[in-house]
Amino acid sequence: MNKEQLQAIETRIDMSTMGPWFGNSNDDHMDWVETISGWVICTLPYSQTITPRIANRDFIAHARSDVPALLAEVRRQKKKVVWLTRQFTIDNYICPPGVNSADKCYKKSDASLCAQCWDNAAEKAVADE
């Protein structure tokens, strides 16, 4: 996703009713999504059978917290990619900052160890920003 798409998602989040949202139902077979203060976000029609109706209700209710969390994770992963790209354009055969140079992995058999090492370094770099 590009920057504009991510910004559009963030705008929709900001414009929506504050969360958290909760799924609710009553004895009249009515389901709805509401805020903690009781503001109804939406209702689901009775015509649906119970299983998809409840699943849809819960999906909508959780979207208010799931979508911002996913957006944050996408942005975090994009930062890792940028950081890793910068590091690998410098020298493909050096270890990440903070790793003992004796731990260099030059052999293909060490590739998974090297990938984990770089992933850990990227996690730290993104967290330090």
pLDDT level of residue 16 (50, 70, 90 thresholds): very high
- Note the pTM of the prediction, 2 decimals: 0.71
How far apart (Å, rounded) are the C-alpha atoms in residues 71 and 111? 30
Per 3-state DSSP, the chain is made up of helix, strand and coil in percentages (nearest 5) of 60, 10, 30
Question: pLDDT tens for residues 79-99?
Answer: 888 877 776 655 555 566 666
Residues near 22 by beta carbon (within 8 Å), at least 6 away in sequence: 33, 34, 35, 36, 61
